[in-house]
Structure 1
Amino acid sequence: MSSRDNFSLSDSQHSSFQQSGSKMGCCVTFSRVIVFLMNLAMLLVALTVIALALWIRLDNNFEHDLRRDIKYDGDEEPLRDIKRDMRTGITVVFWVIIGFAIACAILGLTGLLGAAANSRFLLVPYFVAMVFLILLEIAVGIAVLVKRKDVRRTVKDYVYWSYNLNTIDVQAFNFRYNCCGVEGYPNPQCFQNAPTCSSAVWDRLDFTMMVFGICMLGVIVLQIITTLISVFVFTYRRKEDGPLMIPVQEQ
């Protein structure tokens, strides 16, 4: 083989390596943009959730009547214990939501900065933390499904004993949920097609939980996709142009 052929072959391989590197570079750039945008969205959503949770928690005008009735601690037993359990559950749910939202905000900021700077120093810890967060979110979702029957029983007991003890909670139920009576105790004063307050209160809460669960499922799927893309970004190393073949001089 002549030296001209050797140089021609090395030039061809050099061009092939450049084209391959260019394609990989475009893929990495596109992946970084996706990771940046997804983490920016996660950051904004997390901040929105924090703001909404704090507003619901601190604004006494939000669901004023129900909030007032649940906070009231002067009822007879067992309604007082039921309300105490409900207050504890609401507090736990509030702080769980705040905790997850803060974690998502921090990881969203870390992810978008890591994608913008193409920094392994940021993306590797981001990946590890995201895996842990996703597993924790799945565990919480499973726990909610397991506790669903207990929540349903607590809500129905709350409505039942409110009617049985004729507390002011009944007025809030009738006004807020447009319902009348309680399961097992027909009320002749109720309209024929009016839902019982036991069903109305639980159905509204169950629907809210279902919508929240669907939203969280979508968030988890997007988090998994973003995490997998980030793996491609931080494991990629731009390849060298490739070794050039050393031409062999003919003797």
Structure 2
Amino acid sequence: MTPQPGSPVNKASIKEERVAKRAKKLEEYHRQQKRSKRNRQIGIIAGSVAAVAIIALLVATFAFAPKAANYAGGGAGDASTIDGVQTFSNTTSHIETAVTFEQTPPAGGPHSAAWLNCGVYDQVVPNENAVHSLEHGALWVTYDPSISDAELDTLKTKLPSTYVILSPYDDLPAPIVLSGWNSQLQIDSADDTRIAEFFTEFWKSTNVPENGSPCSGAIDAPGKVS
């Protein structure tokens, strides 16, 4: 209380007022400290939950990601070991013009000087570049765009991690066609056991014009997924 002019100063009242102000400030300070501590705790808990969620997501990603199939490779490309495999006698040369191929999809013949980088594509890729990859020992797995997502997912589990091209292809003679250099297999389902047989015999085959040449370091076509 502020003393009125001419009134005697009550020192006790002034002291009590100061004590009350200090107590109020101290109380406010403690409230602020508690709020800050509570906010820090909430932040730590939220950060921990987020970190755990991220770790769980990474673990799930690796745990449930499709694993590449494992094949020995380096076979001689003997078609007689697999029922239904067709073989051809395409010759090889590098040209700079469009090509009318003998097979659908192509399984060899004149082709571009640039090979197609192996991988998974969700768009149709150029024949001339994909055929060059076949010349290096890669396999080209083509599928009718109308097959189901589940069928496509199953097909992906049958593929190795390298030296393979997966892409859609219009007007295929079968739902799925596997092509190597001068070899081809038409199948109706991704569950067909001959997929593994074909890869075992023709993947990275020694019986191709440019055995051991790379399937990367050249060109990507539009629609490359991985």
TM-score between the two structures when normalised by the length of structure 2: 0.34
TM-score between the two structures when normalised by the length of structure 1: 0.31
Higher RCO (CA 8 Å, separation ≥ 6 residues) = 1
Larger Rg: 2
- Specify which structure has the higher proportion of strand: 2
- Specify which structure has the higher proportion of helix: 1
